[in-house]
Structure 1
């Protein structure tokens, strides 16, 4: 079997099962584990999957640009947003990141909720500009056009002046052993800071982002107090996170 055939088989397995193991592929392809490891590296270099110890896992299937993401799976984002509202109380300082799920939360805030939102997201700030009781602090910096957020040292420094009660952010991908990851290095640095300055972190995730991995590390899953999804908390794909002590809603 030539390499191109092996690479396609590996991609097919990742697409179907979200992961592949070296030992299984070695047997299926009738080649050594070292050969499979080299094949996985080729695919990882092409950003088609993420190499991990013992195999590989799938990237998040979510579109990268904000304009594509805002039209993606809108119904699931509304389900997630409705679950978030029970965590919000008057007087809180809450960080909202630039995710489209987070925007859905901002758009659904009750008119009488009195919180302070700290964000680097232009869409979130715009959604809240006419809210009668929510104060908004915008963390300025360099515009990252793919997500309509600010990034860079100025943004990080602005967040470091905050001590938030909650951090609410939409994750790109999460895996029980690889952790929380994203596709962009500077976004990863911003999200790390958001977590560091918050008493509690709530991650918003549709099921298609679960057990996936991307290139840039944000932190271990144990940084998350809660994961809010669009499915039942008892879903089998979430069992590893429950076992890690994370609340699932």
Structure 2
């Protein structure tokens, strides 16, 4: 099999399970693992997958712009929000980022719940504008246009001065190696929310599981709870249970 055929085969296998392993590809292609490693590196450079130790994983295919993401997988986001709400208690301080799944949580916060929400998301702040008992602290900064959030040092400084009980983390991509983001500056804001929250609750649809983007946020072991739209016994979620995450 010539190189172009190998590259196409690797991509086809990746679409079936979001990840491929060097040993398996070496066996299926009847070539050495070094050859497969070089092929994967070439596909990584082209932005067609993400090379990881022992193989490769898929890039996220979720729409990038907020306006598109807001209309995507709405029913799944509502189900995740319903699972997230029971974690909220009176008197808590909550980080909420710009994920559209997180926005669904914000819209579902009970009207009699007294909490303080710290966010860099314009849509989240707007959703809570008329909430009678939720105080909103907005982390100002430079506008990240595709997400309708703020980024930069001003936003980070606000976050660093807060000790939150919970961070509702809107996932772009999640893998057993960790959580990643498309934007470097967005990854810095999220990393600081992780570092300044007692409990990290990640919200991710199943199609984001076992995918990766370019910029690392934190290892998976930082996450306490993983909420998806699926039942907790879904086989795709077992590796995260094995790592100690509470999967809901």
Verify same fold: TM over 0.5: yes
Q: Which residue of 1 aligns with 2:186?
A: 187
Q: Which residue of 2 aligns with 1:202?
A: 201
Question: What CA distance in whole angstroms lies between the structure 2 residues aligned with 1:226 and 1:81?
Answer: 13
Q: Which residue of 1 aligns with 2:166?
A: 166
Measured against aligned partners, the alpha-carbon deviations of 1:70-109 in whole angstroms (never above 9, x if no partner) come to 1110000000001111000111000000000000011111
**Residue 61 of structure 1: how far off its partner (Å):** 2.1
Q: Equivalent residues in 2 for 1:60-209 (5 A)? A: 60-176=60-176, 178-209=177-208
Partner secondary structure for residue 58 of structure 1: strand
Question: What CA distance in whole angstroms lies between the structure 2 residues aligned with 1:223 and 1:190?
Answer: 15
**Residue 38 of structure 1: how far off its partner (Å):** 1.3
**Residue 31 of structure 1: how far off its partner (Å):** 2.4
Q: Which residue of 2 aligns with 1:218?
A: 217
RMSD: 1.1
Q: Which residue of 1 aligns with 2:34?
A: 34
Q: Equivalent residues in 2 for 1:222-233 (5 A)? A: 222-233=221-232
**Which sections of structure 1, spanning at least 5 residues, go unmatched?**
none
Question: What CA distance in whole angstroms lies between the structure 2 residues aligned with 1:23 and 1:85?
Answer: 43
Question: What CA distance in whole angstroms lies between the structure 2 residues aligned with 1:157 and 1:141?
Answer: 10
How many residues are matched? 248
Measured against aligned partners, the alpha-carbon deviations of 1:164-208 in whole angstroms (never above 9, x if no partner) come to 1111111111111x2111211111111110011111110001111
Q: Give the alignment's TM-score, normalised by structure 2.
A: 0.97
**Residue 47 of structure 1: how far off its partner (Å):** 1.4
Partner secondary structure for residue 40 of structure 1: helix
Partner secondary structure for residue 26 of structure 2: helix
Partner secondary structure for residue 232 of structure 1: coil
Question: What CA distance in whole angstroms lies between the structure 2 residues aligned with 1:10 and 1:188?
Answer: 29
Q: Equivalent residues in 2 for 1:3-82 (5 A)? A: 3-82=3-82
Question: What CA distance in whole angstroms lies between the structure 1 residues aligned with 2:130 and 2:89?
Answer: 19
Moved more, 35-44 or 142-151: 35-44
Partner secondary structure for residue 130 of structure 1: coil
**Residue 229 of structure 1: how far off its partner (Å):** 0.9
**Residue 30 of structure 1: how far off its partner (Å):** 2.7
Q: Which residue of 2 aligns with 1:236?
A: 235
Question: What CA distance in whole angstroms lies between the structure 2 residues aligned with 1:225 and 1:233?
Answer: 15
Question: What CA distance in whole angstroms lies between the structure 2 residues aligned with 1:203 and 1:105?
Answer: 12
Partner secondary structure for residue 48 of structure 2: coil
